[in-house]
Amino acid sequence: MNAITQDVASAPTLDLAGSRLAALNAWVAEVAGLTRPDAVVWCDGSDGENAALIAQMQADGTLLPLNSETHPNSWLHRSHPDDVARVEHLTFVCTSDRDDAGPNNHWMSPADGHSKMDGLFDGCMRGRTMYVIPYCMGPIDSPLSRCGVEITDSPYVVTNMRLMTRMGAPALARIEREGRFVKGLHSIGELDPERRFIMHFPEELTIKSYGSGYGGNALLGKKCHALRIASHQARQEGWLAEHMLILGVENPQGETHYIAAAFPSACGKTNLAMLIPPQGYRDAGWKIWTVGDDICWMRPGADGRLYAINPEAGFFGVAPGTSAASNPNALKCIQSNTIFTNVGVTADNQPWWEGIDDGNEPALDWRGEPYDANKRPAAHPNARFTVSAKQCPSYSPEAENAAGVPISAIVFGGRRASLVPLVFEARDWTHGVLVGAAMGSETTAAATGAVGVMRRDPMAMKPFCGYNFADYFSHWLSFDNGENKLPKIFHVNWFRKGADGKFLWPGFGDNLRVLEWMIGRVEGSASAVETPIGHLPRAEDLNLDGVELSGEARDVLFGFDRDGWKAEFDSIGDYLEEYGPRMPQSLKDEQRRVAGSLSH
């Protein structure tokens, strides 16, 4: 089934004496001694290994086969009803100095964190198999990529990590060459919410996660490594690890601009990354290329521009709301070879969720019970799909470019029903960092807790920054060093509502109209009006052919509410002060500059 399988008594399993993998082998033996599994498996990422794991999970009911005619080689996983989203209140950053974690993170000392977690891990894999997953975040030969190893007792995690990362023998070979890797230890434990913690030890490049089988809590290459640990690495090494999609916009002349965009979870990153241009744009020759839908690692190249890779190899997307109208590329992407989590199913065993609008009806809900709309939705609001990025019709081969793609624009955006216009451009890099730092958004079902509450979510990194936000903002500001050729920074809001509570902007494919204006600003060909909050387009500065906007929509989407922004910047000032003396003075000065201009 796999590269190496032995009972635990014979672990360590590889003859690595004198090799650069000796540290890995010693760690695996140490974890096996702590968790006491019945067997240790070193995963090689092969097709045969994957097929055997799926057969094993089908036999024990962990994975349920879906309709083989409509969704070949696709599966349904139902997680525990109390294990359906990120648990930010149980997620900790364990640094020697509490201030290094910052007020944006829950903190625990490394000693206490290890003690708590090792107590939970003690003997937790009895009767189970321990899987060792070597993986690479990013193209396997890219100097921008970083490797890790996740140890888990969940075969569901193994099959998902195979889709989401470059997993197996090539990653192990790179780890041997480099002699370094991020350590991730995971167990589903008893799936008891009272015994559930996700601990990060950035100074040790270590992650420990216990008690959850859900996506970001269990697929440790994703948010835990690629953002919380990587953001710490990035600060030390002079790059950025960000919660951003990466897309390419190709114009009719065949020129492609790459854009990185940060939105909180469930705020449309995947939809934008896979955007299909409106018919008129398609006829003219515009194309969208998907490099990544969730995470972006960027660093300056030799020419001073920022170059980006998507460290992931797959999509872990939100299913509800995905339809032929909202995201046809995503829907095409998940017709085969896909793992669905917490969706409903139809009578003929097709996956179903609210908003799919495919003419079918659900028979069972995400808990496997007969569907009753008065009881619960068919799909959990945070139901997911896991699929290889290469299945996306708009997939860009540049996703495997070891050098990364050059970024022309960085976009921040949140879910704001009021105040924030459709789009504006930051005055310069410092103002752009403030725009990102002050970003607010209404909460969604991607995290536990109340939905629809406005909170500050800087750079969409509030749940994911592995160190003090004040230091993070300083790190962003440091890129403006007089040598780098930095991208322009923009802010968008697809979610502005009118007096009737309905969205004013059509969104989806029409968002390309906004991207076109941004590219025009990058190239110096598009007009804008200068305001205290940044450069705003007028309605006539966008190509709105075929878009019907009411008078209210035009006024609000392209308007500027001075009194509302005064109150907003007062709030932003208070927010920045929450981080104390570490907050960079230049960012506070920028807030005061904008606040002062709003008072004139």
DSSP string, 273-293: HT----HHHHHHT-EEEEEES
Give the residue ranges of DSSP H helices in 293-421. 328-333
Residue 112, pLDDT score? 98
Report whether 267 belongs to an annotated binding site.
Answer: yes
515 and 480, same structural domain?
A: yes
Residue 231, pLDDT score? 98
Give me the half-sphere count of Cα atoms (radius 13 Å) on the Cβ side of residue 173. 8
Please list, in sequence order, all residues whose beta carbon lies within 8 angstroms of the beta carbon of residue 18, skipping any fewer than 6 positions away: none
Q: Kindly state whether residue 348 falls inside one of the protein's structural domains.
A: yes
Q: Kindly state whether residue 114 falls inside one of the protein's structural domains.
A: yes
Beta carbons within 10 angstroms of residue 55's beta carbon:
11
Residues with catalytic roles: 267
Q: Are strands 296-300 and 306-309 parallel, antiparallel or unpaired?
A: antiparallel
* Residue 238, amino acid: G
Q: Kindly state whether residue 590 falls inside one of the protein's structural domains.
A: no
Assigned token pair, 129: 């198999």
Q: Output the domain CATH number for residue 554.
A: 3.90.228.20
Residue 85, pLDDT score? 84
252 and 134, same structural domain?
A: no
542 and 464, same structural domain?
A: yes
Task: Classify the phi-psi angles of 240: left when phi > 0, otherwise alpha if psi is within -120 to 50, otherwise beta.
Answer: beta
357 and 323, same structural domain?
A: yes
307 and 321, same structural domain?
A: no
Q: Kindly state whether residue 578 falls inside one of the protein's structural domains.
A: no
Weakly modelled stretches of the chain, pLDDT under 70: 1-18, 444-452
CA of 6: how far to CAs of 10, 59, 66, 81, 240, in Å?
A: 6, 22, 32, 34, 40
294 and 355, same structural domain?
A: no
Range of the domain at 338: 315-391
451 and 548, same structural domain?
A: yes
Beta carbons within 10 angstroms of residue 252's beta carbon:
11
Contacts of range 11-17, beta carbons closer than 8 Å, 24 or more positions apart: 11/40, 13/40, 13/42, 14/42
> What confidence tens digit (pLDDT) does each residue in 544-590 have?
999 999 999 999 999 999 999 999 999 999 999 999 999 999 999 99
Beta carbons within 10 angstroms of residue 23's beta carbon:
15
Q: How far is 437 from 457, CA to CA, in rounded Å?
A: 8
Q: How far is 306 from 83, CA to CA, in rounded Å?
A: 38
Q: Kindly state whether residue 303 falls inside one of the protein's structural domains.
A: yes
276 and 209, same structural domain?
A: no
Q: Kindly state whether residue 509 falls inside one of the protein's structural domains.
A: yes
Q: Kindly state whether residue 513 falls inside one of the protein's structural domains.
A: yes
260 and 234, same structural domain?
A: no
Work out how many domains the chain is built from and give that number. 3
Q: Output the domain CATH number for residue 344.
A: 2.170.8.10
Q: Where a domain ends, among 173, 203, 238?
A: 238
Report whether 270 belongs to an annotated binding site.
Answer: yes
Please list, in sequence order, all residues whose beta carbon lies within 8 angstroms of the beta carbon of residue 51, skipping any fewer than 6 positions away: none
Q: How far is 25 from 11, CA to CA, in rounded Å?
A: 9
114 and 10, same structural domain?
A: yes
Residue 419, pLDDT score? 95
CA of 311: how far to CAs of 19, 101, 189, 400, in Å?
A: 27, 24, 28, 10
Report whether 384 belongs to an annotated binding site.
Answer: yes
Residue 9, pLDDT score? 38
Report whether 415 belongs to an annotated binding site.
Answer: yes
DSSP string, 16-77: -TTSTTHHHHHHHHHHHHHH--SEEEE----HHHHHHHHHHHHHHTSSEE--TTTSTT-EEE
pTM value surpassing 0.85: yes
Report whether 217 belongs to an annotated binding site.
Answer: no
Say which residue the tokens 């036999």 belong to.
59
Assigned token pair, 16: 């690595």
Q: How far is 316 from 314, CA to CA, in rounded Å?
A: 7
* Residue 343, amino acid: V
Assigned token pair, 396: 């860009």
Residue 220, pLDDT score? 98
248 and 231, same structural domain?
A: no
Q: Where a domain ends, among 216, 238, 260?
A: 238
Q: Kindly state whether residue 579 falls inside one of the protein's structural domains.
A: no
Residue 7, pLDDT score? 44
Q: How far is 65 from 73, CA to CA, in rounded Å?
A: 8
Report whether 216 belongs to an annotated binding site.
Answer: yes
125 and 114, same structural domain?
A: yes
Residue 8, pLDDT score? 40
Burial per residue of 443-469, b for 16 or more beta-carbon CB atoms within 10 angstroms, e otherwise: bbbbbbeeeeebebbbbbbbbbbbbbb
